[in-house]
Amino acid sequence: MKQKKLFNISGNDEIINRRMIGGNVTNLFNLNNVKYQWANKLYRLMMENFWIPEKVSLFDDKRAYDELTNSERKAYDGILSFLVFLDSIQTNNLPNISDYITAPEVNLILAIQTYQEAVHSQSYAYIIESIIPAAKRAEIYEKWREDKVLLERNKYIAEIYQKFIDERTDVNFARVLIANYLLEGVYFYNGFNFFYNLAARSLMIGTADEIKYINRDELTHCVLFANLIKEIMTEDPSYFDKEEIYAMFDKAVAQEIAWSNHIIGNSIIGINEKTIEEYTKFIANKRLKDIGLTPKYEGFNENPYKQLERVADTNGEGNVKGNFFEANVSSYNQSTAVEGWDEI
CA distances from 268 to 75, 85, 187, 196, 263 (A): 9, 23, 19, 12, 10
- Catalytic residue (one of 124, 161, 187, 196): 124
> Residue 307's pLDDT band (boundaries 50, 70, 90)?
confident
What pTM was computed for the model? 0.90
| Catalytic residue list contains 124 | yes
The contacts found for 252-258 with CB under 8 angstroms, 24 or more apart, are: 252/156, 252/182, 252/186, 252/187, 252/284, 253/186, 253/280, 253/281, 253/284, 253/297, 255/152, 255/153, 255/156, 256/186, 256/187, 256/190, 256/280, 258/149
Q: Which residues contact 314 (CB under 8 A, 6 or more apart)?
A: 212, 216, 321, 322, 332, 338, 340
Do the beta carbons of residue 266 and residue 70 sit within 8 Å? no
| DSSP calls for 290-319 | HTT----STT--S-TTGGGHHHHSTT-TTS
pLDDT digits (tens, 9 = 90+) for 90-141: 999 999 999 999 999 999 999 999 999 999 999 999 999 999 999 999 999 9
Task: Please tell me the predicted confidence (pLDDT) of residue 334.
Answer: 58
CA distances from 122 to 116, 118, 140, 313 (A): 10, 6, 14, 22
Residue of 321 and 280 predicted with greater confidence: 280
Task: Please tell me the predicted confidence (pLDDT) of residue 324.
Answer: 40
Question: What number is the average pLDDT over the span 155-159?
Answer: 95
Q: Is the pLDDT of residue 311 over 80?
A: no
Give me the chain's average pLDDT, please. 90
Q: Is the pLDDT of residue 89 over 90?
A: yes
Identify the architecture of domain 34-343 in CATH. Answer: Orthogonal Bundle (1.10)
pLDDT digits (tens, 9 = 90+) for 165-195: 999 999 999 999 999 999 999 998 999 999 9
Task: Please tell me the predicted confidence (pLDDT) of residue 279.
Answer: 97
Task: Please tell me the predicted confidence (pLDDT) of residue 344.
Answer: 31
* CA 128/CA 141 separation, integer angstroms: 10
Task: Please tell me the predicted confidence (pLDDT) of residue 329.
Answer: 47
* CA 229/CA 21 separation, integer angstroms: 11
> Residue 310's pLDDT band (boundaries 50, 70, 90)?
confident
CA distances from 34 to 19, 46, 105 (A): 11, 17, 7
> Residue 308's pLDDT band (boundaries 50, 70, 90)?
confident
CA distances from 239 to 60, 107, 171, 175 (A): 50, 20, 8, 10
C-beta neighbour count of 223 within 10 angstroms: 22
* CA 231/CA 19 separation, integer angstroms: 9
Alpha helices (H) in 264-297, listed in sequence order: 273-290
Domain boundaries, the chain: 34-343
